[in-house]
Amino acid sequence: LAATTYQAESATISHGLVESNHSGYTGSGFVNYDNETGSYVEFSATAPAAGSATLTFRYANGTTTNRPMTITVNGVTATTNLAFPGTGAWTTWQTATTTVTLAAGTNRVRATATTSNGGPNLDKLDVDAGGTPPTTGRP
Ligand code: GCU
C-alpha cells in the first residue's frame, strides 16, 4: 500500500515555527524546532488496522551534529533517540526511518527533540501501514 503523507506544518507543534526560507520542502513549509530539549511535532496518523508501520521522516539538518528525536506513539516511547544526522545544508533533505506499532484508527505520533539543539527542520512524515493490497481477479 502507498504511504500516507502528513505535513509537519499541519501537525501540532510545541516550541517550533512553520518556516519556508530553505527550499526543497514539500507542502507549504517545514517546522523549525526551537533549539531546546522537549520541543516536538505531533502528527495524527490513521492506520486501517493495528500492526506494524514504517515511519519515514523527511528532514534537513544543516549542522554537522546529530539532532536525535524520540518517537512516541499514543504517549508510549516507540523509538528512543532516532538519529537525524547532518544533511550537509538546510536545503538538503533526507529521511530517517523507524518501525513502530500503530493501533487501528487514529494514532498520536510525536517526534520530540532530546538535545538542547532541538530537532532538525522537519518537512513531513510518511506512514506506511503495510498490509496486503487486493489481488486483481481474486473472488
Ligand atoms: C538556522 C536555520 C534554521 C534552523 C536553525 C537551527 O537558523 O536557518 O532553519 O532551524 O539554524 O539550528 O535549528
Q: Where are the beta strands (DSSP E) in 1-139?
A: 4-7, 12-14, 16-19, 30-33, 40-47, 51-60, 69-73, 76-82, 94-102, 105-113, 121-128
Which residues 6+ apart lie within 8 Å of 21 measured at CB? none
Closest CA to 11 of 34, 38, 41: 41
pLDDT band, very low/low/confident/very high, at 139 (cuts 50, 70, 90): low
Alpha carbon nearest to ligand 1 atom 10, residue: 32
Question: Which class would CATH give 4-128?
Answer: mainly beta
> Predicted ipTM?
0.98
Hey, what's the cell of 76? 508510549
State the distance from the centre of ligand 1 to the C-alpha of 123, rounded, in angstroms: 13
Q: What is the pLDDT of residues 38-47, one digit of tens each?
A: 999 999 999 9
Q: Please provide the average confidence, as pLDDT, over all residues in the chain.
A: 95
How many residues are recorded in the chain? 139
Out of 32, 59, 116, mutate this one to test ligand 1's pocket (max ligand atoms within 8 Å of CB): namely 32
Q: What is the pLDDT of residues 6-34, one digit of tens each?
A: 999 999 999 999 999 999 999 999 999 99
- As a whole-number percent, the residues of the chain with pLDDT over 90 amount to 91
pTM value is 0.94
| C-alpha distance from residue 11 to each of 37, 86, 129 (Å) | 19, 23, 19
3-state secondary structure of 10: helix
Would you tell me how many other CB atoms lie within 10 Å of the CB of residue 23?
Answer: 9
Out of 121, 122, 123, mutate this one to test ligand 1's pocket (max ligand atoms within 8 Å of CB): namely 121
Task: State residue 48's pLDDT score.
Answer: 92
Which residues have C-beta atoms less than 6 Å from ligand 1? 22, 32, 35, 90, 118, 121
